[in-house]
Every structure is written in structure tokens, then in C-alpha cells.
Structure 1
Amino acid sequence: MTLSIINLIYLLASVLFILGIKGLTHPRTAVRGNIMSALAMLLAVVVTLFDAQILSFEYILAGIVVGAAIGVLLAVRIEMTAMPQLVAVFNGLGGGASVLVAGAALVQATGAGASPSLQMSIATALSGIIGGVTFWGSLVAFSKLQRLMLENACSFPGQRVVNVLLLATAIGLGAVVAVSPENHMAYWAMVGAASILGVLLTVAIGGADMPVVIALLNSYSGLAASATGFVLQNNMLIISGSLVGASGIILTKIMCKAMNRSLANVLFGGALGPVEQQGETQDDIYAGNVKATSGDEIAMILDSAQRVAIVPGYGMAVAQAQHAVRDLMNLLEARGTDVEFAIHPVAGRMPGHMNVLLAEAEVPYDKLREMDAINPEMSQIDVAIVLGANDVVNPLAKTDPASPIAGMPIINVDECRTVVVIKRSLSPGFAKIPNPLFAADNALMYFEDGKKAAQNICEALKEA
């Protein structure tokens, strides 16, 4: 296969990748975009196999069979609520692959007695550093999401100084690799320093901030792949890695804006997480003001409602209540009620987590309203049902400049005529601060598991 044909097919694959990402920007075209991206990857892999000097196809075929089997098993058995964990693992595997491929290419290039170009040596160092941070950071993110370790932010005095020293060490060893590529031990020591840095950066971030972390690690995996493309002099890998890296950074920036965070804080770790509580205590706000309700009472309120907004949060995912919520939506619409879903950008554990869960339950795409689109209409909504959300509906973000979530955009459910909050208890969200919404004059608290609560309301509506 000639070089011109190879580059032409790589160009076609690149266009398909770009169109695939474009398709992912809207739920209606997401499936098509995913298929186009998969086709682009297939073309890239096939052409690379014909282009590269493959020593033995047996190992490659064995890897394809094992990988395909694992992929099919995951696709069939993975729960939609565990999708963030799967994404974290995918990010990590991408970073780990970049480390190993770049290291193998360095050993091969120097083993023949030749001296790699400066471009290849620098790219190898970058791939090792970024890939090491990505792999181990993603494993920590997975462990937090899977609750194999504490979700809370974990740090120690002087951790940021240690992080800076580790980064300086990794960069210094990377310079050694660039100048003396035959020094393989320097490469693996560099990867080791980057790996420890990845762990420390991620453990310092709390579980509720995982949407930002996952987006950032996704970007890192793309940058590592792009650097590996320069190592292998593979244009396709450079282009696809750059696309992932750029889109991941853009998504991270969007997530930071939605949480009123600084991108620099996320990059250096340790700035996200619970902040020491200030102002009124939970007892001061809730004492004598919280009004508990029941499924029957909520059914009576909904019976006369013309417009209802459901605000899902991570509690819906934990309770796996998406199907019960869908049934509630269908029941209300059958009675002539207009039902919409108000989606906060960082509700859940990854970008679009609520959208994925509701799509699995076959909730129509046009029912999902982004925060910025539905907020101006909140005063016109008769009933808002907050299901497992907390900080993303906390009015303190608007009223208390000293609050840990001050300035964070929220869904303004407090402006609705009636707010029904479904939670197991009055426990605070990740910010560890009370929520005045729970004690508002127009709010009712339904203390119940999300799935059971939705089912109870449906039964009460049927009996009404």
C-alpha cells in the first residue's frame, strides 16, 4: 500500500472522527456520530496494520479477540449507573497504552544502535509523563466512584509542594530522556514520578467533583495519544489524539464554569472539595421549618398541576429510579400535565450522566431542558420535583457570598410555586452545607428512596 493511499485513508478517517464528534453534540445524532467514529477507528487500525512492519500478526489477532470479548462483556453487563466508572477505566487504559507504546518505541529505536531524533525523544517523554498521570489518576477516579476508597478529598500538609516537586522531577527526567534516549531507566523513573503525581492529584479531589476530573483525564489521554503519534510518526494518531485532547479541555472548561471552579485549581488538584462550614448551622435553618409530606399528598398537588419540572441528581442514579421517573412522567402526561426535566451540567458523576440515565429509560430527548434554557421559566412551573439533587438547587449559591458554592449556577427551583424534594434524609450534599430550600415556605420534603418514592406517587395518582 503506497504512502499516498495510506495518507488519503487517514484523511478520510480524520474527517469521520470530526463528523462523529459533531454528531455527539446532540442526542438525536449521537448514535450516528458514535458509529462514524467507530468506522474511523476501524479504518485507522486496518490501514496501520498494512502500513507498519508487523513482526507477528498472531499476537495482534489474540489481542483483538481478547479485547473484543472484554468489550462485549462490559457492554452487556455494565449498569448505566456505573458508566462513569467505565469512562474512567477507558481514560486510564488510553494513558497506560501510550506509556507502553512510547517506551517500546524508545527501546526499539535505541536498541539498533541508532540515535532517535530530538522530536521523537521529546514526544516520548511527553507521552510517558502525561500517560503516567492519566493511568494512575484514572484508577483513583474509578476507585472513588466505585467506593473502593473514600470519596472525600484526601490531602496532607505540604501536598501541593510535593506535587510541584514530583512534576519538576518528571520534567527533569524527561529532559534526560530527550538528551540521552538510550537511558531507559530515566524513562521508567520519569513514568514512576508521573504516576505518583497522578495519584496525589486525584485523591485530593472529592467524588462529587468527578465530572470535572473525568473530562480532564479524558483530555490527558488524548494528549498522551497525540504525543505517541509523534513518537511513531503516525498522522492518524496525532490527529485523533489532538481531537480528544482539545474536546476534553473544552468540556472541562464548561464543567468548571457550571461549578464556579477555576481550571487552574483542577489542573493542580486539591482545590476542589468540601470547605469548612460558615454561617448558619443546619439546626438553625431547619428547626421547625421542614415540612414532611407523603406520596398521597404529592399526588393531590400534582393532580391540579399544569406544568411539572423534574430535577434529577446523583440520588436518582444511586436509587436507579430513572424507569420509575419515566413511568411518573407518562402517567402525568396522560392526565394532561406538561412534564419536563431540568438538567444541571454537573448533576451526577460525569458530564451528561443524567442524560444517559434518562435516555436509557426512553425519556424523549425534547423533554430534557438544559439549566440555562429552563431557568427563566421556573416561575411559571407549578411543581418542581427534586430527585436526589442537593447542591445544584441550593439557593445559598445566589444569596451567600461566603458560601463554598457561592456563584455556582443552580437550577432555580425555589422560584416554582411548589417544590417537592425527594431525599432519604436532610443530609447535606458534597459541599457539606445546609440547603435553605428544604425549609422554604413553598417546599415539601418526601423522605424516601428515589425509586420507591416515584413508585408511591404513581400508585397514589392511579388511585386518585
Structure 2
Amino acid sequence: MVELLSESVLRLVYLVSAVFFIQGLRDMTHPRTAVRGNLLSSLGMLTAVGVTVLWFDVISPAVLIGGLVVGSLIGAGLAVKVEMTQMPQLVGVFNGFGGGASALVAGAELVEYRIEIGGAFPLEMGIAAAASGIIGAVTLFGSMVAAGKLHGVVTGSAIRYTGEQAVKAVLLATAVLSGVYLVVQPDVLSTALQGTWVPSYWLLVLAASVLGVMLVIPIGGADMPVVIALLNAYSGLAAAGTGFVLNNSALIIAGTLVGAAGMILTVIMCESMNRSLANVLFGGFGEEASSEEMEDIYEGNITETSPEELEMLLDTADRVVIVPGYGMAVAQAQHAVAELGQLLDGDGVDVEFGIHPVAGRMPGHMNVLLAEADVPYDKMKELEEINPTFSQTDVVIVTGANDVVNPRANEDDSSPISGMPVLNVNEAGTVIVNKRSLSPGFSGIPNPLFAEDNTYMLFGDGKEMMQNVVNEYKESN
């Protein structure tokens, strides 16, 4: 009776944790409630981990406390030290750690089963372990490459080579066949290393690890936001698989929620770029444009401006839209941009911020930066809401954005971004583009917007230029 009651309590706590997870995900769908969602999700995971450790007596209290202290110190250090511009690659690393942990735990459970029980693995255990090993290893090494591309230690260009699809197919086949072997013939060679080694599982993990690298290397930097979302889904699926191996309902629920949320986000991101997932994974998007192509578009057609001239334009404007991009994040210009918006708003100018779904290097990147600078949530408008208003806008200030405002998406069927929904800023009366140079965005193609008659280039560091505009506006008003 005591054991039955205790198990009932365990399952009840797992159910409560699942409720926290679900409500946390729900709250994270809006910037206003995102912080609460993170706290609820963290509380749910803390509850699930705590009760699992207490119930199963997994490791000694000293080792547990030591692990918690070390992990907490590392996590707190990263949270304090890592800049907002580096958050996407940190998310990628976390995805990788989650996948790697799932693969290792599933393998450890197989080893423990072989030592304590011996004989054939249960069918469902073998299948779940194989799935967790493949997905987890792909997630770990794919995430490391993605994080490297985002951080600049791995080239952001698409690395292509002859026969790459055949290499991926061989690696995938090796991993899958090793998984099948694990399920249908687990006893063969099981005496190696005194029966503690499960050779087919580790071959599976090795093949999947190399596959993870090969899958992400050919993908260009422009698609990294989609890749991060997809790898997030993978990490959840790997965790769910490990939950089946351990027969742990909390892990199954948490992994399934993460996997489903990641896949939904991946689909949304692909639709925002008018790309199929297959095209993202195998298309090689992000190859560099030739210098000749850039000269044909820009030569003699670029008009520069200054903070002083921009201030004079703003003095006569009734409506202004600010479009942020990754360049704003790099320059840490969000506070200057937000201050400019506040000054204009205080003088009766209608000010809004146009946010593209894939601006920056991860979903919601621009929203987080602007919220950090105290931009009101109701001033941040999504693409579908802001696009119809550009024709009634006097001045658009594009700060650090490139591909998401490129009109070639609507005009050039041969362009790599053809059909991608973009912010139609060229429809405004005047467009000011603040960039360091005319270098292409992640897609690797030039932007004809920079050469249009109503566009003026404000070259320079985003933070410095926007702060200069703020200072000029204050002096004249």
C-alpha cells in the first residue's frame, strides 16, 4: 500500500510538472508573458528532477549536490556573461547538450540492463534507445556546427562537395541498420568487455554524430534560425525517446512538448522564408554574390545621407517606421533606437517598429532586444500588420536589416529569396538604411533597395549613427 501510494504521489507530481510545462509554453507565445512562461517551465523541470532523484535514489546525495552546484554555476555564469547577440548560438549549444545527454543516458541504460538482467532487450526499449541515439547524436554535433556558424568560428557560407547526398545517405543507413541490429539481434557480440558493451548502439551513435555535422555544414548562415528551431525539435524528440527507455512519463511529456513546439516553429520559419524544409536542409542557400553583380546594381546609384539630414526629414514626418535587423543587435543600438522612437512619439509622430519573423538569428530576437530597451509591445508590429501601412509612411529607418527588406523577393523569380515574404519598405516616401557597408546579408545576394531613388544610405556603426540622430533631434527640438 505504501509503495502504491508513493507511486501515485510520484505520478501526481509528474502531472503537475506537465501542467507547468504546458502553461509555460503558452505564456512564451507572447513577449509580455514570456518571462513568466520561462519561470513556470523551469519550476516544472525542477519539480520533476527533484522528485525523480528522491524517488529513485539515483546517485548519492553528495554527488547530486555537487553536480547541481557545478551546473548552476556554469549556467549562471553563461547567463551573465553571454551577450544578447550571442544568445542564438548559446541556444544551439543547449540544444546540442540536450541531445547528447539523451543519447548517453539511453546508452547507459542499455549497458545497465545488460549487466543486471542480461539477455535480449525488450522490443520497445531497443527501438526507443535506437531512436534516441540517432536523434540525440545528430542534435549534438549538428548543434555544435550551427553554433559555430553563428559565432563565426565556422564559415557561414554553404559548404558543398561532390557526392554529399550520397555520403549522408550512407551515414543514415549505417545508423538505421545499426539500430535494427540492436533491436533484432542484441545478444551477438554481447560478451565483449565482459558483457557491458553494446557495440551496435555506439556504432549507431558514431554514424549519427558524423551525419549531424554533414547535415549542417552545407547549410548557409541565412538558414541558421530555421536550423536552430529544427534542432530544438530534435532535442525534444531525443528526450522523449529516452523517456520511453527509462519508462519515465515526465521525460516523455517534456520531450514531446519541446519536439512539437520546435517543429511548429520550424514550419512557421520556413513559411516566413517561403522555403520548404527540404530546401533548407539540402538547398545550399547562402552562397556569396559576385563582385560584378554588386557593381552592376550599386555603381553610381548609391545616395548617402547624414544624421543631420535624417533629423530634418524626421522634423517634417507624421509617420515613421523603424525596421531592426541583426546589425542593430551587433551594434547594441536598440537603446538609441528606442530613445529616438520615444522622442518622436512625444512630439506626436506616429512611430511603429516593423518586425520580420526571421530578422536576427533566432525567432523573436528583435522583439527581445526592443523589449529590453523598453519599447512598448503594442509598438512592435509583425510583417502582415505593418506591410499595408508602408505606402502611408513618410520615413522608414532600416537599421541593420538586409534580406528581410530586399525587394528582389517580389521582383526576381530567379533570386534565391524569390517568394520570401519581406517588409515592403520601398513603398514608403523615404527610406533610410543604416549599415556599415553594402555587403550582402546572410542570403549572399545584393539588395536593389539600396540603389532606389527614394533610398538614402547612412553608413556607419548602428549605435553611433542612431545616437547622433537622437542628439541632433534633441538639439533642434
The answer, yes or no, to whether TM exceeds 0.5 is yes
Per-residue Cα deviation, 1:152-202 (whole angstroms, up to 9, x for no partner): 111211111100110010000011111234541111111000000000111
How far residue 431 of structure 1 moved from its aligned partner, in angstroms, is: 2.3
User: Residue 463 of structure 1 aligns with which residue?
Assistant: 475
Among candidates 376, 385, 391, match of residue 364 of structure 1: 376
Among candidates 157, 165, 168, match of residue 173 of structure 2: 168
Cα distance in 2 for partners of 1:416, 1:339 equals 14
Which sections of structure 2, spanning at least 5 residues, go unmatched? Answer: 191-197
Cα distance in 1 for partners of 2:25, 2:284 equals 29
Cα distance in 2 for partners of 1:432, 1:66 equals 42
Matched, 1:137 2:142: yes
Q: Secondary structure at the match of 1:420?
A: strand
Per-residue Cα deviation, 1:390-449 (whole angstroms, up to 9, x for no partner): 111011110111111110000010111110011111122222222111111211111111
Cα distance in 2 for partners of 1:22, 1:388 equals 31
How far residue 295 of structure 1 moved from its aligned partner, in angstroms, is: 0.6
Which sections of structure 1, spanning at least 5 residues, go unmatched? Answer: none
Cα distance in 1 for partners of 2:186, 2:42 equals 35
User: Residue 343 of structure 2 aligns with which residue?
Assistant: 331
User: Residue 299 of structure 1 aligns with which residue?
Assistant: 311
Q: Is the 8 A contact 2:335 2:373 kept in 1?
A: yes
How far residue 388 of structure 1 moved from its aligned partner, in angstroms, is: 1.0
Per-residue Cα deviation, 1:137-163 (whole angstroms, up to 9, x for no partner): 111111111111211111211111100
User: Residue 225 of structure 1 aligns with which residue?
Assistant: 239
User: Residue 19 of structure 1 aligns with which residue?
Assistant: 23
How far residue 458 of structure 1 moved from its aligned partner, in angstroms, is: 1.0
User: Residue 400 of structure 1 aligns with which residue?
Assistant: 412
How far residue 283 of structure 1 moved from its aligned partner, in angstroms, is: 2.4
User: Residue 178 of structure 1 aligns with which residue?
Assistant: 183
Cα distance in 2 for partners of 1:44, 1:35 equals 14
- Structure 1 runs (4+) deviating above 4 angstroms are 275-278
Structure 1 residue identity aligned to 2:353: F
Show the 5 A alignment for 1:173-212.
173-182=178-187, 183=190, 184-212=198-226
Show the 5 A alignment for 1:177-326.
177-182=182-187, 183=190, 184-266=198-280, 269-274=281-286, 281-326=293-338
How far residue 46 of structure 1 moved from its aligned partner, in angstroms, is: 1.5
Matched, 1:431 2:408: no
Per-residue Cα deviation, 1:48-70 (whole angstroms, up to 9, x for no partner): 11222424222221111100111
Q: Is the 8 A contact 2:84 2:369 kept in 1?
A: yes
Show the 5 A alignment for 1:92-107.
92-107=96-111
Q: Is the 8 A contact 2:220 2:287 kept in 1?
A: no
Cα distance in 1 for partners of 2:371, 2:415 equals 34
Q: Is the 8 A contact 1:163 1:200 kept in 2?
A: yes
User: Residue 347 of structure 1 aligns with which residue?
Assistant: 359
Cα distance in 2 for partners of 1:140, 1:409 equals 28
How far residue 98 of structure 1 moved from its aligned partner, in angstroms, is: 0.3
Q: Is the 8 A contact 2:289 2:446 kept in 1?
A: no
Matched, 1:126 2:138: no
Q: Is the 8 A contact 1:393 1:411 kept in 2?
A: yes
Q: Is the 8 A contact 2:31 2:368 kept in 1?
A: no
Structure 1 residue identity aligned to 2:209: S
Cα distance in 1 for partners of 2:419, 2:59 equals 58
Q: Is the 8 A contact 2:93 2:144 kept in 1?
A: yes
Q: Secondary structure at the match of 2:432?
A: strand
Identity, % of aligned pairs? 59
Cα distance in 2 for partners of 1:159, 1:414 equals 39
Show the 5 A alignment for 1:41-80.
41-80=45-84
TM-score by length of 1: 0.96
Cα distance in 2 for partners of 1:318, 1:3 equals 51
